């Protein structure tokens, strides 16, 4: 049986302002109104005989990842938490060591959480072919049949044919310039490097031991001192931080004598930029792709995504326009790879728009910062049924809670009581308090904070069911 390993790291900065550090593109619905990219990746495996997926993600995203898997009914899926990012070679090593530790030596189907694959039947056929090669000891990667001379992807040159659609690997090549990419396309024996793989866990670890024993040693130390918390595996932070940063391509695939590639023609895209998303989105007769409340006049070949308000365009062409609650991006389609430069500038200026949206997800629900000013801030808070915020206190702010719907169970100092719809309560500065939803529907309330400092780091936690510090 195949064991899917889904890599859900990365920040997706080229898809800012929709993708943020605390809510990156793999957890966002980009091409499906209902499912995030991670959820689509899991769903497209459903017809195959596979185990529950093993997910690898950043520690910051653990509750977001767990909730999205829970929504698919995968309550028992395991999640490895990386304290820091160390690229794909160490991440896959952690997964291989984890799977070997439970007593078997499975075939690992390594996938990225943020890829689009339109033809799932073709994808499944490619997996079946790769599985046969992996059972023979090959380390198989999937090469995408190119549709144009793309400069944003690495390439794989096919070697000796193993079947109609599988080959040994002649070489891996870096992202080319336009002329070189055109040459690869004309040659006909080059494929795009997809970053998806299939191999047996033991074979990957053997090759890593041969070519990058330093990475393997660091990962073994990190897993030897790992701790399990429900479905989370927390690797040792100090040991993993000492691990070299390297990709699986450099560390293993370019060095092994057993690399094979299966060609895949399945409507694949890594959706690495807004222009890439425009390419795979349905368009009108003028080449426009619009999502949300959008009005277009004399507009051509433009991508518009309106999240919260009307966006109107007049007399423009070849633009990307993305509107969120706290930021608007306007870019030419030819320059969307440079959006990450704006993200870098936001960081340098000490701003926060790269980190999260106005809406911030927590393991208990979500809050939306509606308004703020000198010595006050207003939030709309939604608490899921049965969820509870930590028992906490603040040194610099008081809080007023007004229940909009549902019922709140409030701990206020030594007193615990219920606050119903249209009722309110007050939490003084320095008071130990907690908020819980004892009901079966969402609890929604308005929180008005007042005080000399309103930052999220003014929280002293005494008890937290989600294991936060």
Q: DSSP characters for 304-333?
A: EEESSS-EEEES-BSEEEEE-SS-EEEEEG
**What are the Cα distances from residue 371, in Å, to 20, 129, 136, 325, 368?**
20, 55, 60, 12, 9
Q: What is the mean pLDDT of residues 367-393?
A: 95
Give yes or no: residues 194 and 312 share one domain. Answer: no
Last residue within a domain, chosen from 218, 248, 269? 269
CA distance 174 to 177: 10
Give 336's DSSP letter: G
Angle between helices 213-224 and 201-211 (to 10 degrees): 120
Q: Which residues constitute the domain of residue 384?
A: 359-463
- ∠ CA 371-376-377 to the nearest 5 degrees? 35
Give yes or no: residues 32 and 176 share one domain. Answer: yes
Which band of pLDDT confidence, cut at 50, 70 and 90, is reported for residue 252?
very high
Strands 319-323 and 303-306: parallel
- Partners of 167 in the β-ladder: 161, 261
Q: What is the pLDDT of residue 434?
A: 97
* Nearest Cα to Cα of residue 367 among 375, 376, 355, 356: 356
Has residue 153 got a pLDDT over 80? Answer: yes
pLDDT above 70 covers what percent of the chain?
100
Instruction: CATH number of the domain at 388, please.
Output: 2.60.120.10
Give yes or no: residues 15 and 158 share one domain. Answer: yes
Give yes or no: residues 61 and 150 share one domain. Answer: yes
Instruction: CATH number of the domain at 166, please.
Output: 3.90.550.10
Which band of pLDDT confidence, cut at 50, 70 and 90, is reported for residue 358?
confident
Is residue 147 assigned to a domain? Answer: yes
Is residue 468 assigned to a domain? Answer: no
Which band of pLDDT confidence, cut at 50, 70 and 90, is reported for residue 199?
very high
Which band of pLDDT confidence, cut at 50, 70 and 90, is reported for residue 466?
confident
Which band of pLDDT confidence, cut at 50, 70 and 90, is reported for residue 303?
very high
- Give me 447's structure tokens: 């929180």
Q: What is the pLDDT of residue 453?
A: 95
Q: What is the mean pLDDT of residues 8-20?
A: 93
* Nearest Cα to Cα of residue 242 among 84, 93, 94: 84
Q: What is the pLDDT of residue 389?
A: 96
Is residue 354 assigned to a domain? Answer: no
Q: What is the mean pLDDT of residues 101-130?
A: 94
* Nearest Cα to Cα of residue 70 among 383, 359, 384: 384
Last residue within a domain, chosen from 248, 269, 290? 269
Strands 107-112 and 190-200: antiparallel
Has residue 11 got a pLDDT over 90? Answer: no
CA distance 80 to 89: 14
Site of tokens 């997964």 = 95
Has residue 103 got a pLDDT over 80? Answer: no
CA distance 412 to 427: 7
Give yes or no: residues 131 and 198 share one domain. Answer: yes
* Nearest Cα to Cα of residue 239 among 102, 113, 97, 64: 97
Is residue 353 assigned to a domain? Answer: no
- 410-440 pLDDT per residue, tens: 999 999 999 999 999 999 999 999 999 999 9
Q: What is the mean pLDDT of residues 148-171?
A: 94
Q: What is the pLDDT of residue 261?
A: 98
Task: Classify the C-alpha dihedral 8-13-15-21 as positive or negative.
Answer: positive
* Nearest Cα to Cα of residue 246 among 293, 281, 213, 284: 213
**What are the Cα distances from residue 50, in Å, to 37, 261, 279?**
19, 21, 31
Q: What is the pLDDT of residue 353?
A: 93
Last residue within a domain, chosen from 269, 304, 336? 269
Q: What is the pLDDT of residue 47?
A: 86
Has residue 468 got a pLDDT over 90? Answer: no
Q: What is the pLDDT of residue 267?
A: 95
DSSP for 382-442 reads EE-TT-BPPEEE-SSEEEEEEEEES-EEEEETTEEEEE-TT-EEEE-TT--EEEE--SSS-
Give yes or no: residues 249 and 118 share one domain. Answer: yes
Which band of pLDDT confidence, cut at 50, 70 and 90, is reported for residue 152?
confident
Is residue 351 assigned to a domain? Answer: no
Q: What is the pLDDT of residue 450?
A: 97
- ∠ CA 370-371-373 to the nearest 5 degrees? 160
Give yes or no: residues 137 and 260 share one domain. Answer: yes
* Nearest Cα to Cα of residue 107 among 33, 16, 228, 202: 202
- Whether 346 contacts 326, CB under 8 Å: no
CA distance 19 to 30: 10
Is residue 352 assigned to a domain? Answer: no
Give yes or no: residues 160 and 128 share one domain. Answer: yes
Has residue 339 got a pLDDT over 90? Answer: yes
- Whether 248 contacts 219, CB under 8 Å: no
Give 266's DSSP letter: S
Has residue 356 got a pLDDT over 90? Answer: no
Is residue 469 assigned to a domain? Answer: no
Q: What is the pLDDT of residue 160?
A: 96
Q: What is the pLDDT of residue 115?
A: 96
pTM of the model: 0.89
Is residue 111 assigned to a domain? Answer: yes
User: For all residues of the chain together, what is the average pLDDT?
Assistant: 95
- Partners of 400 in the β-ladder: 426, 448
- Whether 153 contacts 193, CB under 8 Å: yes
Give yes or no: residues 263 and 287 share one domain. Answer: no
Give yes or no: residues 227 and 299 share one domain. Answer: no
CA distance 60 to 84: 10
Q: How many domains does the chain have?
A: 3
Give yes or no: residues 60 and 36 share one domain. Answer: yes
Give yes or no: residues 279 and 399 share one domain. Answer: no
Q: What is the mean pLDDT of residues 401-417?
A: 98
């Amino acid at each position: 049986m195949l064991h899917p390993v889904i890599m859900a790291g990365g920040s997706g900065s080229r898809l800012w302002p929709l993708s943020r550090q605390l809510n990156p593109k793999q957890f966002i619905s980009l091409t499906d109104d209902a499912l995030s990219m991670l959820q689509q990746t899991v769903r497209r495996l459903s017809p195959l005989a596979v185990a529950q997926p093993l997910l690898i993600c950043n520690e910051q995203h653990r509750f977001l990842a767990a909730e999205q898997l829970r929504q698919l009914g995968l309550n028992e899926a395991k999640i490895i938490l990386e304290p820091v990012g160390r690229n794909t070679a160490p991440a896959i090593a952690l997964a291989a060591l984890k799977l070997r530790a439970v007593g078997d030596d499975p075939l690992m189907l390594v996938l990225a959480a943020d890829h689009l694959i339109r033809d799932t039947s073709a994808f499944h056929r490619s997996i079946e072919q790769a599985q046969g090669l992996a059972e023979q000891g090959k380390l198989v990667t999937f090469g995408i049949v190119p549709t144009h001379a793309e400069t944003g992807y690495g390439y794989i040159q096919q070697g000796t044919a193993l079947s109609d659609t599988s080959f040994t690997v002649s070489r891996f090549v870096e992202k080319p310039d336009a002329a070189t990419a055109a040459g690869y396309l004309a040659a006909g024996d080059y494929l795009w490097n997809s970053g998806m793989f299939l191999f047996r866990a033991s074979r990957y670890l053997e090759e890593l031991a041969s070519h990058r024993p330093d990475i393997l040693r660091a990962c073994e130390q990190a897993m030897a001192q790992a701790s399990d918390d429900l479905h989370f595996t927390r690797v040792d932070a100090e040991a993993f931080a000492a691990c070299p940063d390297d990709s699986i391509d450099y560390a293993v695939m370019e060095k092994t004598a057993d690399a094979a590639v299966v060609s895949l023609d399945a409507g694949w895209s890594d959706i690495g930029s807004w222009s890439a998303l425009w390419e795979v989105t349905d368009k009108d007769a003028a080449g426009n792709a619009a999502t949300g409340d959008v009005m277009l006049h004399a507009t051509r070949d433009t991508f518009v995504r309106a999240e919260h308000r009307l966006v109107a365009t007049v007399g423009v062409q070849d633009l990307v326009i993305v509107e969120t609650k706290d930021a608007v991006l306007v870019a030419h389609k030819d320059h969307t790879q440079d959006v990450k430069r704006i993200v870098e500038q936001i960081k340098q200026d000490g701003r926060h728009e790269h980190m999260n949206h106005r809406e911030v997800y927590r393991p208990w629900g979500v809050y939306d910062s509606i308004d703020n000013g000198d010595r006050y801030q207003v939030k709309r808070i939604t608490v899921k049924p049965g969820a509870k915020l930590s028992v906490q206190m603040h040194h610099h702010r008081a809080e007023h809670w007004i229940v909009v719907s549902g019922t709140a169970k409030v701990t206020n100092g030594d007193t615990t009581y219920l606050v119903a719809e249209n009722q309110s309560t007050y939490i003084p500065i320095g008071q130990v308090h907690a908020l819980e939803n004892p009901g079966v529907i969402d609890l929604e309330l308005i929180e008005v904070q007042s005080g000399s400092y309103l930052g999220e780091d003014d929280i002293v936690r005494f008890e937290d069911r989600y294991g936060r510090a």
